[in-house]
Structure 1
Amino acid sequence: MSSDLLDALTALEKQKGISREVLVDAIEAALVTAYKRNFNQAQNVRVDLNLGVGTIKVFSRKDVVGEEVEDDRLQITLEDALLINPAYEVGDIVEQEVTPRDFGRIAAQTAKQVVTQRVREAERGLIYEEYIDREDDIVNGIVERFDARNLYVGLGKVEAVLPMTEQIASETYNPHERIKVYITKVERTSRGPQVFVSRTHPGLLRRLFEMEVPEIFEGIVEIKSIAREAGDRSKISVFTTNEEVDPVGSCVGARGARVQSISNELNGEKVDIVEWSEDPVIFVANALSPSKVLDVHVEEEDRSTTVVVPDYQLSLAIGKRGQNARLAAKLTGWKIDIKSETDARELGIYPRFEEEFQADEADVDEADVYSDEETALDSTEETEEVETDSIDLYQDEHQ
């Protein structure tokens, strides 16, 4: 073996990050292929590559059998094997050197091609291992090219595929533009690792909040659920066990700086941040923000709720094309039926159920009524005294 090949192995190990053992295995496999192809040999052979002394040797391998040999290229009788070494037994493997005189010259080109292929495969393996660990993570990429269905984003060592279905409809992508993408899947193919990315996946929103909000990254604030209609509007529920931390305020940031930064990254997508609660009444009411909620009736059996809102906020609660209600239902995992206050009163479900409401009124005793009237009277007398004092003061000043 020439010193040039040794130098090449060292260089590949440093530049490509491929271990020398992998490269040696590739060369040995290449030399076996070259020997069989160029010398028209079908026997089982082994190539020994000695890096220490720089030699290449080819050994034929034959199985030791009893008396009958079916293929003399693959088998040898015990009698002949004992002539080579008296220690051989049936079932052993006999190795004999069969290195051709001009083997190095003839095999060089073939070996080079196979080595190149093995090196390429090793590189692909390293890339695959790198990106398979980054599934469900966010990366920076550069828009490289388009075709009829996909957009291709350069991630450095590999080109990722951004399918049309994973693109935000309102976004326009320009060549050489830098964008953040979410890795959804990494596949091993014959052409190398294939990375698929997304701009619409809810995981992208989650990772952006983890990058922008230290409280989420450190685990102080937890993202419980996300509902997203990419490019238009999203809702995110957050929670914390630390009473000194406001989970919603942490995500919004000073003057809305944190959430605005995320919105800008998503091409102006609006993000509603609500506080998560174990109580579905509170959680559903929060999820319908920015609408005001008067009451929430819960049906545990079919995980459905009936929400009562003021008449003037019915359209706000439902949202444009039902978007607010749809996102709230996806965020909470509960079915949501929204009723105006007027409709709810007509149906007898607000305030609460009519029977309960009437029973509550009957339970109010005379003392409570008197107390309320007395309080109202006292309030009226105090108001009159204040008005009298104000008039006296005005007169004194003008005298």
Structure 2
Amino acid sequence: MDTQTLSARTEFAAAINQICSERGIAPETVLNAINSALVASFKKDYPEQALKFEEEELIVSADVDSDNGQFKLFVGKEDAKKKDLKEITPPGFGRIAAQAAKQVILQTIREAERDSVLADYQEHIGEVMTGMVQRMDGRNVVIDLGRGQAVMPPDEQVRTEYYRLNSRLSVYLKEIAETVKGKQIIVSRSDDRLLAGLFEREVPEVSSGAVLIKAIAREAGSRSKVAVESTQAGVDPVGSCVGQKGVRVQAVINELNNEKIDIIQYSEEKDKFIKSALAPAEGLNISFDKRSGETTVTVPSDQLSLAIGRGGQNVKLAAKLTGTKIRIISDQASPESAIVATGTEEYEIDQLSLDTKARNILVESGLTHIEDLTEDKLDTVKGIGPKTLEKIKVQLASYKS
């Protein structure tokens, strides 16, 4: 055996032992991967022999000694015992083996480190973390969380926000999802739970459980309503979240790029809760229709615009916060002129006159904004037939005209 080959094998064994001990990788994992790489290298560098063995229905296998790095190649029948295998290690194969092993070890290191990072962040799902915008990957924002990278897809972004490179921001660690690029850490800026996590971080009473966040209604980047209640006597839930001179809620607002936040006292009394949710409107008269499940709120004419809000935002958020279908009507108007809002999630595509099934399929496919409805994306949506697709395109053309 030449000196170079011996040196290569010595380095080879040392590398395996070092990697296994430092990275916490099972030796079997590395050795099995190296065995496969050696067989692949043999077939690549000795194609005629490999083809001959294949024609004879013989299987090429490799064996690496984890103690000294010695390796051998064998050939034999698929179910042959080790003693019946024939050694076929070619002369000078050591350098090829060392190179193959190096590549396998590097790949194993990368995979082991990635698995370790994912396992670490798996334990932090549901938490708010601070990261830095690293780069854009198509429409995705890649966030550096420290040990690992996370991805913020378009539907988890806030449409009014611009994500500058190297800017720091708080994100909600939503899940570890299987994607076309493998497992990825998914974070969000639009999730309601980001808002809850920020209050937990800024308000000691929330983190201790003295104040509970009962419900959140949010139009990310614009305005949110948060319902809170106290679990301890003498603790003011709204005051605790606002903080002295508004310092606590302002810290949350700053993290959300000046998103407006209304903090509301939760109540089990439905009418009282709805009145609070419709603030700043005052002088409201509430009636319930048990049969339809609808709540009618009669509002003084001078309070109507406050109750409804710009673009219906206030009543929509109130309906979502309370889980109630709210019907707003002025005390000087006819019932037919009522404004109705439900507690269901609304999207920009709701401005199109789509049937419920088509609308839901688009939402489930992540196509919630008008600009998402490109021809390429629509053609890939499963569950929508040619006729429905044509109707969507007609509605889209009508909307843009």
Query: Which residue of the partner structure matches residue 8 of structure 1?
Result: 15
Query: Which residue of the partner structure matches residue 288 of structure 2?
Result: 298
Q: CA deviation at 1:342?
A: 4.6
Q: 1:100 aligns with which of 66, 89, 92?
A: 89
Q: CA deviation at 1:53?
A: 4.0
Corresponding residue SS for 2:85: strand
Query: Which residue of the partner structure matches residue 279 of structure 2?
Result: 289
Count of paired positions: 320
Answer yes or no: is 1:225 the counterpart of 2:215.
Answer: yes
Query: Which residue of the partner structure matches residue 179 of structure 1?
Result: 169
Query: Which residue of the partner structure matches residue 34 of structure 2?
Result: 27
**Greater Cα shift, 266-275 or 292-301:** 292-301
Q: CA deviation at 1:99?
A: 5.0
Residues 200 and 299 of structure 1: is their aligned pair in 2 closer, same or farther, counting only changes over 3 Å? same
**What's the RMSD between the two structures over aligned residues?**
3.1
CA contact (8 A) 2:126 2:172 kept: yes
Query: Which residue of the partner structure matches residue 140 of structure 1?
Result: 130
Answer yes or no: is 1:214 the counterpart of 2:221.
Answer: no
Query: Which residue of the partner structure matches residue 258 of structure 1?
Result: 248
Answer yes or no: is 1:328 the counterpart of 2:318.
Answer: yes
Answer yes or no: is 1:151 the counterpart of 2:151.
Answer: no
The residue type paired with residue 22 of structure 1 is T
The residue type paired with residue 104 of structure 2 is V
Cα distance in structure 2, aligned partners of 1:190 and 1:313:
52
The residue type paired with residue 321 of structure 1 is G
Corresponding residue SS for 2:258: coil
Residues 208 and 201 of structure 1: is their aligned pair in 2 closer, same or farther, counting only changes over 3 Å? same
The residue type paired with residue 9 of structure 1 is I
Gaps of 5+ in 2: 1-7, 336-401
Cα distance in structure 1, aligned partners of 2:174 and 2:120:
14
Segments of 4+ in structure 1 off by > 6 A?
Answer: none
CA contact (8 A) 2:209 2:231 kept: no
Residues 248 and 153 of structure 1: is their aligned pair in 2 closer, same or farther, counting only changes over 3 Å? same
Per-residue CA shift, 1:221-263, capped at 9, x if unaligned?
A: 2222111111111001122332332222221122221111000
Cα distance in structure 1, aligned partners of 2:64 and 2:168:
47
Query: Which residue of the partner structure matches residue 71 of structure 2?
Result: 56
CA contact (8 A) 2:223 2:261 kept: yes
Query: Which residue of the partner structure matches residue 110 of structure 1?
Result: 100
Q: How does 1:369-388 map to 2 (within 5 A)?
A: none
CA contact (8 A) 1:57 1:97 kept: no
Cα distance in structure 1, aligned partners of 2:176 and 2:254:
28
Corresponding residue SS for 1:289: coil
The residue type paired with residue 315 of structure 2 is A
Residues 298 and 189 of structure 1: is their aligned pair in 2 closer, same or farther, counting only changes over 3 Å? closer
Cα distance in structure 2, aligned partners of 1:190 and 1:15:
30
Residues 17 and 273 of structure 1: is their aligned pair in 2 closer, same or farther, counting only changes over 3 Å? farther
Q: CA deviation at 1:296?
A: 1.6
Gaps of 5+ in 1: 63-73, 77-91, 346-399
Per-residue CA shift, 1:17-44, capped at 9, x if unaligned?
A: 5444432332233233334444424433
Q: 1:234 aligns with which of 209, 215, 224?
A: 224
Q: CA deviation at 1:130?
A: 3.5
Task: Give the structure with higher Rg (CA).
Answer: 1
Query: Which residue of the partner structure matches residue 328 of structure 2?
Result: 338
Query: Which residue of the partner structure matches residue 188 of structure 1?
Result: 178
Cα distance in structure 2, aligned partners of 1:164 and 1:298:
39
The residue type paired with residue 171 of structure 2 is V
Cα distance in structure 2, aligned partners of 1:57 and 1:231:
63
Cα distance in structure 1, aligned partners of 2:196 and 2:322:
16
Query: Which residue of the partner structure matches residue 85 of structure 1?
Result: none
* TM-score normalised according to structure 2 size: 0.69
Q: CA deviation at 1:166?
A: 3.4
Q: Percent identity?
A: 43
Residues 106 and 314 of structure 1: is their aligned pair in 2 closer, same or farther, counting only changes over 3 Å? closer
Q: How does 1:192-207 map to 2 (within 5 A)?
A: 192-207=182-197
Residues 118 and 321 of structure 1: is their aligned pair in 2 closer, same or farther, counting only changes over 3 Å? same
Q: CA deviation at 1:282?
A: 1.6
Q: CA deviation at 1:149?
A: 2.9
Corresponding residue SS for 1:245: coil
Residues 190 and 269 of structure 1: is their aligned pair in 2 closer, same or farther, counting only changes over 3 Å? closer
Cα distance in structure 1, aligned partners of 2:178 and 2:109:
16
Residues 55 and 107 of structure 1: is their aligned pair in 2 closer, same or farther, counting only changes over 3 Å? closer
Residues 107 and 327 of structure 1: is their aligned pair in 2 closer, same or farther, counting only changes over 3 Å? same
CA contact (8 A) 2:216 2:225 kept: yes
CA contact (8 A) 2:216 2:227 kept: yes
The residue type paired with residue 70 of structure 2 is T
CA contact (8 A) 1:308 1:344 kept: no
Answer yes or no: is 1:127 the counterpart of 2:117.
Answer: yes
Per-residue CA shift, 1:154-189, capped at 9, x if unaligned?
A: 233444333444333333332211111223343335
Cα distance in structure 2, aligned partners of 1:315 and 1:189:
45
